[in-house]
Amino acid sequence: MMGEPVFVMLVEDNADHAELVIRTMEDHRIANKIQHFADGQTALDYLLRRGEYEKPESSPRPHMILLDLRLPRVDGLEVLRQIKEEEELKNIPVIILTTSEAEKDVARAYNNHVNSYLVKPVGFEEFSKLMNDLGFYWLGWNTHPHV
């Protein structure tokens, strides 16, 4: 992705958490564009190019998807399942970013082919470091097919 603008899709229903993710990514210059979706249905409409996102120009593919588990309309695990079943989407790295440490949630996410599962730290400094490391790993150091 050398020199290419980096686009991160954030699917998070908690406005405070979303703002923290966006602000931290901007502060660390991790992404050139972050698009926030507050529910799973709208995120799927975007990714599957339905409704207002029908045209590819209005719905470019993200380089990474940060996905919460507990979402209105369609939960995060269902969003993940549908992403990983779609030939066009399955190679996009999906990182669960959630408050849930429940073993059943972790297992279900990996059973649906999540690329990584991260529990949101409580403290700001820890959260900021996590986002910085996440950005460098997935968008800088990691090699993956072009989407």
Q: Which residues contact 18 (CB under 8 A, 6 or more apart)?
A: 10, 12, 36, 38
Q: What is the dihedral of CA 104, 106, 108, 114, to 10 degrees?
A: 180
- Residue 40 pLDDT class (50, 70, 90 cuts): very high
Fold designation for 7-140: Rossmann fold (3.40.50)
- Residue 97 pLDDT class (50, 70, 90 cuts): very high
| Residue position matching structure tokens 């399955």 | 90
pTM: 0.88
- Condensed to tens digits (0 to 9), the pLDDT of residues 53-83 reads 999 988 999 989 999 999 999 999 999 999 9
Domain coordinates in residue numbering, the chain = 7-140
End-to-end CA distance of the chain: 11
- In sequence order, the β-bridge partners of residue 65 are 9, 94
Round to whole Å and give the CA distance between 49 and 105: 28
Q: Say what the pLDDT of residue 24 is.
A: 81
